[in-house]
Amino acid sequence: MLREVVGIDPVVFATDYRYLRRDLAVSCRDHIEATPELTDGERTAVLGATGTTLIPRLATLRPRTRTRAL
């Protein structure tokens, strides 16, 4: 529905809730990475590329190594 209303270009995966449990955050990201609803390009955009266009200084930050929560 979101794609139909505004398109995928302005969509980013983020939260303004600073105390989101790590397991919930990892689970949400895993779901985005696995969903067949997004193309590879859309997935890349939602998980970070769009954020770097909205906030250019994010592009200069070193990417963090992703670790799975146990």
Name the average pLDDT for the chain. Answer: 79
Burial (CB count <10 Å: 0-12, 13-18, 19+), residue 51: middle
pTM listed for this prediction: 0.63
Per the model's pLDDT, the better-predicted residue between 63 and 2 turns out to be 2
* pLDDT one-digit tens code per residue, 16-38: 677 778 888 888 889 989 999 88
**What would the two tokens of residue 52 be?**
């770097």
pLDDT score of 34: 93
Give the residue extent of every domain in the chain: 2-59
* Model confidence band, residue 9 (pLDDT cutoffs 50, 70, 90): confident
For residue 70, the model assigns a pLDDT of 44
